[in-house]
Amino acid sequence: MPPKAPVKEADAKSWETSVDSTTYSIDEFYPRASDKRGHSAQLNLRIQPELMAVVEEIFQSKKFPYRTYGDVMRDALVHRIAYLRVVLQSGKVDEAFARILVIQQILEEEELDKDFRDKLQRLDAIVNDRMQDPISGKFEAAKVIKRVLANVEAMPQGYTRQLYEKKIHRDYGHILEE
């Protein structure tokens, strides 16, 4: 359990968590885990180690009224949610934003494609290594190739899947046939 920082005196308002535009203030702290009636919901998430280091730095500084790491995260979440609500209500989430999301998705798909091509290059090295064993090398190489091919065949139908299937059959078909 993370250590707790000393509690600083804060006004009662700072412990109320609200993203209501009439009460929200960017200058306030919103670390409270429950509403005025004691109700709360649980959210579990993983974060990047670099982000956790920043959270720890903020918490350990003891310059803010946070008693736990969760207080830091809740406060940050309230502030970001308030911003996103303003953007959403202003109508700025429009076609341009949607296009950015589509571009982001395309780039992520391309990165995945590049990663998979890199994996296929590693497969070449592994197959070549397995083939060096004169007794069971071909059998062991075929097992690896079949496992990779099964995963490719589990991909959704489309250009990328067809491309990978053709490459595997072209490069390793002679091993799979025997």
Q: What's the pLDDT tens digit per position in 106-125? A: 998 888 888 888 988 999 99
Q: Quickly state the pLDDT bin for 157 (edges 50, 70, 90).
A: confident
Close Cβ partners of 28 (under 8 Å, ≥ 6 residues apart): 13, 14
Task: For residue 101, give the amino acid letter.
Answer: L
Residue located via tokens 């991909």: 155
Chain center to CA of 41 = 21
Examine the pLDDT at 14 and tell me if it is beyond 70.
no
Residue with tokens 């007794």: 135
Cβ(35)–Cβ(17) below 8 Å: yes
- The first and second tokens of residue 69, run together, are 């790491």
Residue pair 18/24 in contact by the 8 Å Cβ criterion: yes
